[in-house]
């Protein structure tokens, strides 16, 4: 089944994003946490691809293991950083041989210490080229691309960024998962502008539940997500209390998800960061998704 079927009419797609941990202990934690999250019946799980291809094998190993142990459809992320077309082809062949259903096709960020992204010789400059490549090499993959409710940091303006997103969709992407954001209105404006630009595929909001003030300041500085003043004030009020910050974050994300689903979003993609506690607490508080008893 193509991954986009998670968003068929009458369905609410739920997906979880994992990342490859550094060591065996992290891997054990990841699978223990995923075991807890499985009760919420995700439609699929994705696994990120480390900077510069550093996690190439681990990404595919984790995706294949999730598929094998939980019987869930999976998507492996892939970036163009430092990769030649033959590197990309080898990854895609490997993913297909392991039965992985989808690829989250990304350009990737410039390596640490480099200001701008540089393609390898014969490599790709933007994600739309990677999408086209995947479509021609392995038409059977589901293909997912990234979208930016507050525009990508490098884009000169919102409209230009949307035109680039449309190129990725026209190149064959099945749906879009958004960058994390904390103001639902940003997402709604993005979704409406996508529709006006002629983007007809599902646009799925990506949610990162905040679990600490320090973490969110770092992440939002990295990707440009704006934190609403009210949210920051509530978090800062809990500055000396990690549990208080966790509770505020979970409360905020629960309300955010409710607002998104009520406004007709086709599903929710959680950046679970390999931890189950925040996502599971949010999911328990929601009555919107089916779950195992
Ligand atoms: C859901 C999601 C998952 C992610 N997973 C990972 C991951 O696993 N590993 C990782 O390293 N990073 C990941 N990222 C981060 C991502 O790699 C960065 O945001 C990166 O800077 C841009 O990748 P992209 O695929 O959006 O690039 P692109 O779509 O290529 O866009 C990059 C910039 O170029 C512009 N642009 C796009 N196409 C064109 C074109 N044809 N001509 C001119 N300009 C163009 C865009 O407007 C934008 O400013 C993820 C992001 C999201 C939202």
Any idea which architecture 3-285 has in CATH?
A: Alpha-Beta Barrel (3.20)
95 has a pLDDT exceeding 90: yes
Residue 63: predicted pLDDT: 98
Q: How does residue 223 score in pLDDT terms, banded at 50, 70 and 90? A: confident
135 has a pLDDT exceeding 80: yes
* 125 CA: nearest ligand 1 atom: 30
Residue 112: predicted pLDDT: 85
Q: How does residue 293 score in pLDDT terms, banded at 50, 70 and 90? A: low
Q: Looking at residues 29-44, what average pLDDT do you find?
A: 96
Determine the distance separating the centroid of ligand 1 and the alpha carbon of 109, expressed in angstroms: 7
Give the tens place of pLDDT for each residue, 62-88: 999 999 999 999 999 999 999 999 999
217 has a pLDDT exceeding 90: no
Q: How does residue 292 score in pLDDT terms, banded at 50, 70 and 90? A: low
Give the tens place of pLDDT for each residue, 5-22: 999 999 999 999 999 999
pTM (whole model) above 0.95: yes
Determine the distance separating the centroid of ligand 1 and the alpha carbon of 7, expressed in angstroms: 23
226 has a pLDDT exceeding 80: yes
57 has a pLDDT exceeding 80: yes
Give the pocket of ligand 1 (CB within 6 Å). Answer: 48-49, 51, 77, 79, 104, 106-109, 126-128, 146, 152, 154-155, 161, 164, 167-168, 177, 179, 206
166 has a pLDDT exceeding 80: yes
* 108 CA: nearest ligand 1 atom: 17
% of the chain residues with pLDDT over 70: 99
289 has a pLDDT exceeding 70: yes
CA angle 17, 174, 198 (to 5 degrees): 120
52 has a pLDDT exceeding 80: no
- Domains of the chain by residue range: 3-285
Give the tens place of pLDDT for each residue, 259-287: 999 999 999 999 999 999 999 999 999 98
% of the chain residues with pLDDT over 90: 87
Q: Which of 15, 88, 146 most suits a substitution to test ligand 1, by most atoms within 8 Å of the C-beta?
A: 146
Residue 130: predicted pLDDT: 98
Nearest protein Cα to ligand 1, atom 30? 126
Active site residue 17: yes
Q: Which of 47, 48, 83, 106 most suits a substitution to test ligand 1, by most atoms within 8 Å of the C-beta?
A: 106
First-to-final CA distance of the chain: 25
């Amino acid at each position: 089944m193509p991954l986009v079927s998670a968003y068929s009419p009458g369905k609410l797609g739920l997906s979880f994003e994992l990342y490859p941990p550094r060591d065996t202990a992290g891997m054990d934690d990841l699978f223990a946490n995923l075991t807890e999250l499985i009760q919420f019946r995700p439609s699929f799980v994705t696994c990120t691809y480390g900077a510069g291809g550093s996690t190439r094998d681990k990404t595919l190993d984790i995706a294949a293991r999730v598929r094998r142990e939980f019987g869930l459809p999976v998507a492996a992320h892939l970036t163009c950083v430092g990769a030649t077309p033959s590197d990309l082809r080898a990854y895609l062949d490997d993913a297909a041989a392991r039965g992985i259903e989808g690829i989250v096709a990304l350009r990737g960020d410039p390596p640490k210490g480099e200001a701008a992204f540089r393609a390898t010789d014969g490599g790709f400059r933007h994600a739309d080229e990677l999408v086209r490549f995947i479509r021609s090499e392995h038409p059977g993959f589901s293909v997912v691309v990234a979208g930016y409710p507050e525009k990508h940091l490098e884009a000169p303006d919102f409209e230009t960024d949307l035109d680039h997103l449309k190129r990725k969709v026209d190149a064959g992407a099945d749906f879009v998962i958004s960058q994390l954001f904390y103001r639902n209105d940003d997402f709604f404006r993005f979704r409406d502008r996508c529709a006006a630009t002629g983007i007809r595929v599902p646009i799925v909001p990506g949610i990162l539940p905040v679990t600490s003030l320090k973490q969110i300041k770092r992440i939002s500085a990295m990707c440009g997500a704006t934190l609403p003043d009210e949210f920051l004030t509530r978090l800062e009020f809990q500055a000396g209390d990690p549990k208080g910050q966790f509770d505020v974050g979970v409360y905020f994300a629960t309300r955010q998800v409710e607002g998104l689903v009520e406004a007709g979003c086709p599903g929710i993609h959680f950046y679970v960061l390999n931890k189950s506690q925040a996502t599971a607490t949010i999911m328990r508080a929601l009555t919107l998704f089916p779950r195992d008893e």
